[in-house]
Amino acid sequence: MSGSVKLPRDEVDWLLRGALAAASKDDVTPVLCAVQWTIADGRVTVLATDRYRVHQLYVRAPKGTPDGEFLMDRSQADLLLRLRHSNARRLAGEVVELTWTDAETLPDPAPRKVARRYCGTLRFDIIAHDGADADVLSHTTEQVRGTFPAVGRLFDASSESESERASEMALDPEYVSAARHLRVDRGEPLRFIIPARSEQDAQIAGGSRRRPVLILNGSGTARALIQPNLMLKAVKDYGTD
């Protein structure tokens, strides 16, 4: 099965920057270096993780867009972000069309070299403007093979319960900084929800275990989970050195 979705350039840029901020850079697990795209329920949603955090963002899908799901490799996503038409006056009107082809079932026994049709393909077309004579920048590659982890379910497990909150926790500042890509515009605030502790959490390692911090953008179109660090070393209070 194949399909395509056409989105304004600025929406695609926002989705990819927000997703890539959380995507893994460890090539040992290629599927974690990818961005998962899902078109369903009238939304185009992207999801990425590096095991320690999850970013999820969405925009509204144009009417008539077929449902589908595909994995975009980090290198193709980076290329899409970098490519621009040379005519600056047309940049505001750029449109990106993503076209995917689902993978065919591998034969049994599987071949030593996996042909492209068993991986599926993903193509992007960057269209300069809506006119009939618009220049187009294109790129086609294989989809990333593998099953993306069901990290989206972690958001369903997060809670805004009024139970006892953690009084303090350690967060990686790089992860916190990367959450800025969830904002639709620079003036938009981010909402941080400190997780409540369950009885099970309190019984593990003296209560040192912490649930992920939930971050929401002000537009209600992006969210993230960041796993707190374990404070294995003593952390001094300010002014006690």
pTM value is 0.86
Indicate the domain borders of the chain: 2-105+113-142, 158-226
Per-residue pLDDT reduced to its tens digit, 92-133: 689 999 999 998 877 777 777 777 777 889 999 999 887 788
3-state secondary structure labels for all residues of 162-210: CCCECCCCECCHHHHHHHHHHCCCCCCCEEEECCECCHHHHHCHHHCCC
Q: For domain 2-105+113-142, which CATH number applies: 3.10.150.10, 3.20.20.80, 3.40.50.300, 3.10.180.10? A: 3.10.150.10
Cα–Cα distance measured from residue 100 to residue 77, given in angstroms and rounded to the nearest whole number:
14
Average pLDDT, the chain: 85
Give mean pLDDT, residues 142-156.
89
